[in-house]
Structure 1
Amino acid sequence: MQDDDLYAIWPLRLARGSGPRYRQIADLIERAVAENRLQPGDRLPPQRGLAQRLGIDLTTVTRGYNEAGLRGLLDPRGAAGTFISRRAEPAALVLDLGMNLPPPPLGCDMQELLRRGLARVMGRQDVHVLMTYQLAGGSAAERAAGAQWLSQSAEPVDAGHVLVTPGAQAALAAVILACSQAGDAIVSEPLVYPGLLAAAEQLGRRVVVAETDDEGMTPTGLERACRESGSRLVYLNPTLQNPTTRTLTESRRCDLLRSAAACGAQVIEDDPYRLFLDAAPPTMASLAPASVFHISTLAKCLTPGLRTAYVLAPDLDSRAHVLASMRSFALMATPLMSALAAQWIASGAAQDILDGVRAEAQARQLMARRVLQGAAVLTQAEPAEGIHQWLALPAPWTANALARAARDEGLSVASSDAFRAGVDAPNAIRVSLGAEADRAQLEQALGTLAGLMRSRPQPPRAAMV
């Protein structure tokens, strides 16, 4: 919006006897926002230009803008100018330590990256094409971008084996449908990503548990579970596992792959947190490319809003089977978001966001260790990486009791029951560090949680009748 257009819808009249002029400027901004004459994202006139138009000194306008900023009305963006901020949403009743989301990337202006990325997409692609049905599995450019992204983890990657999907949950469901029949079993660890449990239930599959040790699933446990259940599909989240944060060593990965091959089983390698680890072992897909479906989502390392995940299939036939399965419930990934993801990867913006998310996540991990020290046992070894922690609770707390007490304090945490695959759950909770955008608010939430864990559970309140 040009300054003249803005002045037309936002008439500025300073009146004598109506209080200090700087405060009148802030009041006029506030009134215009309340009356929807100024919208979130509108750019205000430069301070010097406004001072000239009003015939007042620059300092008064600066004070007026500062006052409006203190009221939460403005979003200063340096050389880009001063903008009307987004309207504040009603304060959340719960501080979210339960949802596993990446934190805001440190040092990245996501609004500017989004604006620039979409502008480039719109400049290079026909809008009609972006707004209509697309080939399922992604365009050649999108699959090439997926191959480039996956090459950080599993080299070399053939773009012909890559499938673009609308998120990891859709990818997981499609692979399960392609590789199993109704009533079949899927082998997993006792504590597992809840999305697997939900997908298995909805698709009529069973989840059976393999034996684990301190590192994770054991090869003998995998073979026994496959033999007893007849399963030909194994699910693993081998790097910074959700929820336990364990990472399988390269030797354990090789042993598990040999055991799976001996059972004629294929492996789903769900790897959303791999890029948080500085020295991650080789992917299972790179160790046994003929028998592993590798799923890599952008939701955990960049932003969930992209709704984009990549599947690396063992070969063209298996890719075609997964694609056919996905078409039964999701014809395609959202074209605009897939194109944006591809543009960000090609331009290097995705790497910048990843670096920022990693830096912020590391800072939050260190803060969480400091705040929670002595309140619970953190199972993750130093250095702390990833976006969640797995806390073994002190007696006499139980996971469900603590989750209820936390909710009473305005916090959400994930009880171990949410990850239980048909076995007794340990006395632990998962704490997620990315959902709260503000680091200070996260620290406050963690402090409240630490205080709870250091206290004793309160007996249930008697009902009033």
Structure 2
Amino acid sequence: MDWVTPLSPDGGPRYLQIADLLEQAISEGTLHPGDRLPPQRLLAEALGVDLTTVTRGYDEARLRRLLEAYGHRGTYVSAPPGELTQWVDLSMNIPPAPAQVDLSTLLKQGLSHLATRSDVNLLMTYHIGGGSPTDRLAAAQWLSPMFESVETSRIVICPGAQAALAAAILTLTQPGDTVLAESLVYPGLRTAVQQLGRRIEPVSGDEAGMLPDALERACREYGARLVYINPTLQNPSARTIPSDRRRDIVEAAARADATIIEDDPYWLFADNAPAPLATLAPDRVFYISTLSKCLSPGLRTAFVVLPDAAIEDRFLSAMRSFALMAMPLATALVTLWIQDGSAQALLAGVQAETRARQQLAAHIFPNPERSTRRQGIHIWHSLPNHWEARDLARAARADGLAVTPPDAFYLGPGKPPSAIRVSLGGGRDRNQLSTALRNLAALLASKPAERTEVVI
């Protein structure tokens, strides 16, 4: 019973804590498939709870497919389901499903509320504006941790961050113009820039982020007036730009008369995150906050804080050229969830699950020199000398794992860093993620197989 630790008085329902203890012990390898669990009465005495609580905890663990009961023979840790050995996607950056929040129930309740208390015809027709006053007020409430206050007239509701990025690029640049970014950058930006007939060029940086002097030089060299920055738990490096560097970047952009797109999807995962650049220079920054990375991609909702309410018509006109509107039903659901607290409860569940998965990753990849900070929904893992990133990605795929090599993010110059991004939200649960990460760790520790030619 080494896996048994005291329950927390503030940790939620005790039966769920018991199921979480079991899941954590299985993920960390303290309990193994086939291990017999202690009798429920013995566990109840050890934890100081009643027998019914332990029974409910075991039932919950069985629902999570962690345990199997065999009557008088006892209860045993389940063997991993077959799909664990088939395919686990560690390449897609999505928030993990929270263990203690029933998203299905939230969705059913929210849609039922909208169907009975809203005008369904309004939910199913065109909404070509940037959100109703109620929607914008809810967005301002959601953004309050980042901004002490923000005028609702500056907020626009968009169908996801990618649409917001493309609309901002169309609004602020002309074909052939250059957009500046760090050498490691979100791949969706590069796609948008290229598809819209613009150019993208890297700006030098260090461990604290983009270098202000290099930014000014690049603005002069390329005649660039638009800069993209992902400042908090950056994708893929997981680095957060500190406050003083943010201030220097904003001042450098002002001297170069450049506008900044601040793409900030991970701010709510960071401990003591610095204030956004948009709070330092609100008239120079397009701030984008998406719910896809902190709640659910299916909501397809992002909030944009414009540098000036007067630019809204141009921005919405640009967005309507490829995405007419944010989906009214999704926007209404998001607004309802923010108003009734469901969005905050879901966020708390995702944050808790993210911390647990980061702890799991830290246990499996303990070397801090190879894996980046233990926050957010991905890690950036440096490769041992015997692996090339592309070879490792191919070998992982052959083992049923998908990871993202660095050339997906790298703008240059020179060779990309020898590292991979490992996303932690793709596993169905921690048990599946643990198996996938352990398989990846074993692959990293092994040597690449020699290629052989088949001659017939």
**What TM-score range do you get, normalising by the shorter chain?**
0.7 to 0.9
Structure 2 counterpart of 1:391: 381
Q: 1:376 to 1:255 in 2, by over 3 A?
A: closer
The 5-angstrom pairing of residues 163-182 of structure 1 reads: 163-182=156-175
Q: 1:375 to 1:449 in 2, by over 3 A?
A: farther
Match of 1:404 among 378, 391, 394: 394
Structure 1 counterpart of 2:441: 450
Quick one: distance in 1 between partners of 2:208 and 2:369?
A: 20
Structure 2 counterpart of 1:361: 354
Match of 1:417 among 404, 407, 419: 407
Offset of residue 298 of structure 1 = 0.2
Give me the TM-score of the superposition, normalised by structure 1: 0.79
CA contact (8 A) 1:138 1:332 kept: no
Offset of residue 191 of structure 1 = 0.3
Structure 1 counterpart of 2:43: none
CA contact (8 A) 1:368 1:446 kept: yes
Number of aligned residue pairs:
380
Offset of residue 89 of structure 1 = 12
Structure 2 counterpart of 1:265: 258
Structure 1 counterpart of 2:320: 327
Quick one: distance in 2 between partners of 1:461 and 1:177?
A: 49
Offset of residue 150 of structure 1 = 1.3
Offset of residue 116 of structure 1 = 1.1
Deviations 1:408-458 (A, max 9, x none): 111000000110114321000000000112210100000010001111111
The 5-angstrom pairing of residues 181-192 of structure 1 reads: 181-192=174-185
The 5-angstrom pairing of residues 66-465 of structure 1 reads: 93-374=86-367, 377-380=370-373, 384-423=374-413, 424-465=415-456
Secondary structure of the 1:378 match is: coil
CA contact (8 A) 1:376 1:393 kept: no
CA contact (8 A) 1:294 1:311 kept: yes
Offset of residue 121 of structure 1 = 1.7
Secondary structure of the 1:414 match is: coil
CA contact (8 A) 2:130 2:158 kept: yes
Offset of residue 344 of structure 1 = 0.5
Q: 1:274 to 1:464 in 2, by over 3 A?
A: farther
CA contact (8 A) 2:388 2:418 kept: yes
Offset of residue 461 of structure 1 = 3.2
Secondary structure of the 1:234 match is: strand
Offset of residue 129 of structure 1 = 1.1
Deviations 1:372-396 (A, max 9, x none): 225971132xxx1100000111111
Q: Which amino acid aligns with 1:270?
A: D
CA contact (8 A) 1:375 1:454 kept: no
CA contact (8 A) 1:162 1:311 kept: yes
Deviations 1:166-217 (A, max 9, x none): 1000000000100001111111000000000100110011111111011110
Quick one: distance in 2 between partners of 1:393 and 1:435?
A: 21
Structure 2 counterpart of 1:56: none
Q: 1:364 to 1:268 in 2, by over 3 A?
A: same
Give me the TM-score of the superposition, normalised by structure 2: 0.80
Quick one: distance in 1 between partners of 2:118 and 2:284?
A: 36
Offset of residue 90 of structure 1 = 8.5
> Gapped runs of 5+ residues in structure 2?
1-58, 66-80
CA contact (8 A) 2:354 2:377 kept: yes
Quick one: distance in 2 between partners of 1:213 and 1:438?
A: 35
The 5-angstrom pairing of residues 46-85 of structure 1 reads: none
Deviations 1:322-363 (A, max 9, x none): 111101111101110110011111111111011100100000
Please provide the CA RMSD for this pair: 2.0
CA contact (8 A) 2:84 2:436 kept: no
Q: Which amino acid aligns with 1:402?
A: L
Q: Which amino acid aligns with 1:228?
A: E
> Gapped runs of 5+ residues in structure 1?
1-65, 73-87
CA contact (8 A) 1:146 1:342 kept: yes
Quick one: distance in 2 between partners of 1:313 and 1:89?
A: 48
